[in-house]
Every structure is written in C-alpha cells, then in structure tokens.
Structure 1
C-alpha cells in the first residue's frame, strides 16, 4: 500500500470522527479555475456549495455508469448479431456495408489499435474496440433502408408497438453526448439526468429485457440523485 494512503488510514482509524482537513485554495487549483468556475457560478459564489456540487457531479456520473455501460454493450452486440446473420460475421470489414465515411476510419483505427496490442483483428475484437458513436451512427438516417430490412430486429418494444429507427436514434444522440461528457469529467448537473437514465433503461429493455432487469439490481442512480431539482444559479 502507498505510504501516504497507509498514514491516512491510520489517522482515520485513530480518530474516525475527526473530519479531514482540506486546503480549499489548493483543491480549487487542482481542479483548475476554469472548471471550478462553472460550479462557483452555479453556487452564486459560495465556495462550500460549489465543492458540494462538484462532489455531487462525481457521484451522479459514477451512478450513471452501469446503465450507460449496459446500453452500449448490449446495443453493439445486438447490432453485430443481426448484421452477422444477415450478411456475414466479418460484415465490418466489407467495403459495401458501411454508408457513412467516418465509420471506415473508425474501423481502421480499431484494427490498428488491436494490431499494436498484438491481437488478431477478429470480428468480436473489432466490435469491442469501436466507439459508441460508431454504433449510434448505425441507427442514423443513412441506414433507414438497412433498418427496414434487418436492423429493426435488434429489439422489441414492451408495449407491443412496432419499433422505429427513430425510437432509438432520438434518445441515443443526447445519451452519447452525455456519455462523452461523463468520460471527460465534464459538468452534467444541468442535464435532465433522471430522464436520460430512464431512456437508457428503456432502450436496454427493448434490446435485452434480461440485461435491463439485471442492471437495475445494482443501479444506484435513483438512490444518489436528489429527489428535488438541483438548484443551480446562473444556469
């Protein structure tokens, strides 16, 4: 164990009721003035409140991770399964399959990264290496014909209504942006997080009811998210 962590744990064990001493100025410098400034504005200049908001942003970002991960993993696997059945397991490497130019670049990057790791570029390896944006693009307007012929079979609505491509693409665009903001540690408190959380579970449920049910057993978002609207000034 790192010596500094060992010393900290020792001090906490000796006096567990004693709160840690935090140098606010040093902490703000570590977070950077520009990044902390957003929280300070939301808190109306109250530094203690700003730090609380920053911590809440971290906790909510963490709590959204299970539903984000489950949706991304299930979505890419369902698309790959349908396309493998309709075309071939190596559909990602076929020149006539992809209709959006940047997707070919994404595949080339994934194959290159697998090569650097001395891994043979298998279909499943490429699937795992591709970004979320690749898979959301597969549900964009360029693939409407493919949706009509094959991709509509990736899932089923629970209300029995026919599944449209836009049922996925409309909520997936903001979810993808939210995912990237969380990955880059950006503020997300001003977003409608409960709404996006519900959308993630709804889409996952259409793709794989079992995966959605299982994910919900350890999803802590509802417990972490404040029950009332988060008060943000200057928003």
Structure 2
C-alpha cells in the first residue's frame, strides 16, 4: 500500500470515530467501498447542503410571512386562535407549545412571536386538502397575482403542494446533516426559486444574488453506486 492510500485509510478511520460508522456507511456504499471516494462524497454532500441552506431559508421565511400577512388581513392577527380554523392536529399542538414556551420565557404572546416559532411543516400543512376552501377564498392571495406554474397556468393549491412536499423533507435532511446526493437537487433548487418568486419577486432576486448552489453543483452527474431503492424524489 502506498503512502497516499495509507493516509486516506487513516483519515477514514479517524473520521469514523467522529462521524460514526452508520453515517459514513451511506457514502461508502455510494463509493462502492472506495474509502477516499466516500470522503469526497461526504464533503460534496456537506457543500451542497450548505449551498441549499440560503434559498431554503428564504423560501421558508417568505412562505411564513406571506401566509401570516394574508391570513391576518382576512381573519385578524390571531387567526390561528379562531375556533376550528386549524384542522390538522400537529398545527394546533405547535401553536400551544409556542405559547407555553413564550410564557415560560416571560415574553408576551404576540402574534409575531408565535408564528416565528412555527415550523415549515406548519405552513405547508395549510395547503393540505382540508384547506382547499381556505385556499380558494383567501390563501391564494399570498401569491403574486401574475404567478404562473411551469406550464403557464394560474396557480392552484396543488401547484404548491407537489413541489413543497419533497422540499419539506429536503429542508429537514439539510437541517439534520443527512445524505441528499441521491436527490434530484437541480430540480428542487429550481422549485425553491420558482415558489419564492410566486411569493415575492424581491425575495427571488435576493436568492438569485446569494445562492451558491449552481456554482457548487458538479457540471457532471454525481456517480453513485446503486444501493437499496429509497424512492428519493
């Protein structure tokens, strides 16, 4: 074994103690057992996760604030407290937990503080089937009036749920440092930018100016050895 290979094995062995065998196993599998390649893939996964963080963050903040502003105008600042307004169990629980935490911290139960504590999943759940009437009557107003889907059609609730459902999972995988290389990341990045533009052209322009994803994503397809199918979007 040459010194370069020995150094790579030493690096892999040292990182196993920090990253855990289980975390590295996915990358070793993708690399077909090549330990040096596995570490390269891990580094690429980290770089792409970092590059996606900025556009994902803007999407989440824009969605939250546009939805909150629209619903506040129609139903008042405490729209989430209206009887039977929230129809999904975890949404009700999140609002209650946010209030409890603010009370414990001695902070006032202001609408802005409460909504800031609600997760991306809370906001995307407002696009569930049970909220179809809300979308038609009110929530569609959170989108730009001239917003069109990729086929040039006016937006429906499903125009958002189709791309946002996998984006919610991708956001969570990025936040928890999980593997994302098997995902169709260029497609999802394009959806992030598109939906952000539907919400706010200014937010889309800000994302375009600061997102590093297109410069970080490799020009050539990422070669991954086949593993058990996981149904990654």
Give the TM-score normalised by the residue count of structure 2: 0.88
In the alignment, what sits opposite 1:38? 26
Question: Separation in 2 of the partners of 1:128 and 1:234?
Answer: 40
Structure 2 residue corresponding to 1:90, chosen from 71, 74, 78? 78
Structure 1 residue corresponding to 2:41, chosen from 49, 53, 59? 53
C-alpha contact 2:58 2:207 (8 A) present in aligned 1: yes
- Cα displacement (A) at 1:158: 4.5
SS at match of 1:179: helix
- Cα displacement (A) at 1:55: 0.5
Question: Separation in 2 of the partners of 1:37 and 1:24?
Answer: 11
SS at match of 2:210: coil
C-alpha contact 2:148 2:155 (8 A) present in aligned 1: no
Question: Separation in 1 of the partners of 2:158 and 2:207?
Answer: 24
Post-superposition Cα deviations, 1:60-119, rounded to whole Å, max 9, x if no partner, equal: 000001110010000011111111011111111222211112211011111122223322
RMSD: 1.5
Q: Write the mapping of 1:140-155 to structure 2, written as runs, cut at 5 A.
A: 140-155=128-143
- Cα displacement (A) at 1:142: 0.8
In the alignment, what sits opposite 2:172? 180
Structure 2 residue corresponding to 1:134, chosen from 116, 122, 125? 122
Unaligned regions of 5+ residues in structure 1, if any?
1-21
Give the TM-score normalised by the residue count of structure 1: 0.88
Structure 2 residue corresponding to 1:25, chosen from 7, 10, 13? 13
Structure 2 residue corresponding to 1:210, chosen from 190, 198, 202? 202
Answering whether residue 226 of structure 2 is matched by residue 234 of structure 1, we say yes
In the alignment, what sits opposite 1:70? 58
